[in-house]
Amino acid sequence: MKPDTTKCELHEDLLDYLYEEMTSQQRVVYQRHLDTCATCTTELEGLHRLRTELRAWDVVTSPAIEIVIPRSPWQALKECFMLFPAWGRGAFALSAAAAMLLMAFGAFSLLRGTQPNAPAVAQTPVTITPGSMQPASLTPEVQAQIAAAVAKAVEQERQAWRAQLAAYESRTAEQQVRVQTVARQLRELQSRHDALLADQQPSLRRLMAEYSDTGNGTNER
């Protein structure tokens, strides 16, 4: 038969006392109440026993949960990049920069390269019989002058484009030379580093041996 705890006015504090969610002052007050209330005391003892029983079901182990989290493309690229040694990452970055520069130049050249077609249209009046394209009011001399001026302008523009193209080609060649130089310097640095390491190894070993000997001497003393 369960005790009728609803009759006790402090029954609602029972759980707070049981689970120690009371202030120390409240706890003292409730302990005094327990001294005089058999109903709450019995109820409390029953709950204590139940709590002990509940502990019998203990989940001591848990499986390792494998959660497959999709990596973002940027993170995957970053992790792949970090697999290379530092000098490799530097060379890769330089190569990538050079490749981007070349691509940009290629795209620019392509765009510019299509434009001579436009002057080709303008060039047409020069080759066509002047009289067939010009208004009838223009005299043959004037028409000839116009055709000559147009042809001259077209030729000037062509020459300007050729000069620009030559300048870009020259710059690209310079960039390629620079990239090659940096790559060569990196290789040289790497070989110097390897050589230095190889040189230092005997002296390091000697130092370690000396240190070890000194240590033994100290221990003996």
Partner 1 sequence: MSQIYMMEFSDDQLIEQTLAGETDAFSALVHRWERQIYGLSLRMLGRDEDARDVCQETFLAAFRNLNKFRGDAKFSSWIYRIALNACHTKLRKQGTMPAHSLDQENEDGRKFELPDLDSESAPDRMQLDQRARMVRKALQALPAEMRQVIIMKEYHEMTFAEIAEVMQTPVSTVKSRLYTGLQQMRARLEKQRAAI
Binding-site ranges for partner 1 (CB under 8 A): 2, 12, 14-16, 19, 21, 46-47, 50-51, 53-59, 62-65, 67, 69-72, 74-75
- Minimum distance of partner 1 from residue 54's CB (angstroms): 5
Q: In the complex with partner 1, which residue's Cβ is closer, 44 or 147?
A: 44
* 65 three-state secondary structure: coil
In whole angstroms, give the CA distance from residue 124 to residue 210.
90
Closer to partner 1 by Cβ: residue 70 or 217: 70
Measured at the CA of 51, the angle between CA 58 and CA 24, to 5 degrees, comes to 120
> Would you say 21 or 155 has its CB closer to partner 1?
21
Q: Under the phi-then-psi rule, with left for phi > 0, alpha for psi from -120 to 50, and beta for the rest, what region is 135?
A: beta
Task: Count Cβ atoms below 10 Å from residue 14 Cβ, excluding itself.
Answer: 20
Tell me the C-alpha distance between 214 and 78, whole Å: 47
> Cβ closer to partner 1: 60 or 136?
60
Strand, helix or coil for residue 148: helix
DSSP string of 19-39? TT-S-HHHHHHHHHHHHH-HH
State in angstroms the smallest separation of the CB of 45 from partner 1: 11
Q: Report the Cα–Cα distance between both ends of the chain, in Å, rounded.
A: 81
For the bound state, the minimum distance from the C-beta of residue 64 to partner 1, rounded and expressed in Å, comes to 7
Residue 3 or residue 90: which is nearer to partner 1 going by CB?
Answer: 3
- Closest CB 23 distance from partner 1, rounded Å: 14
Q: What is the closest distance, in whole angstroms, from the C-beta atom of residue 24 to partner 1 in the complex?
A: 16
Amino acid found at 115: Q
CA distance readout (Å), 75 to 70, 71, 80, 82, 154? 10, 6, 9, 10, 52
- What is the nearest approach in angstroms of partner 1 to the Cβ of residue 57? 4
Q: Which is nearer to partner 1, 51 or 184 (CB)?
A: 51
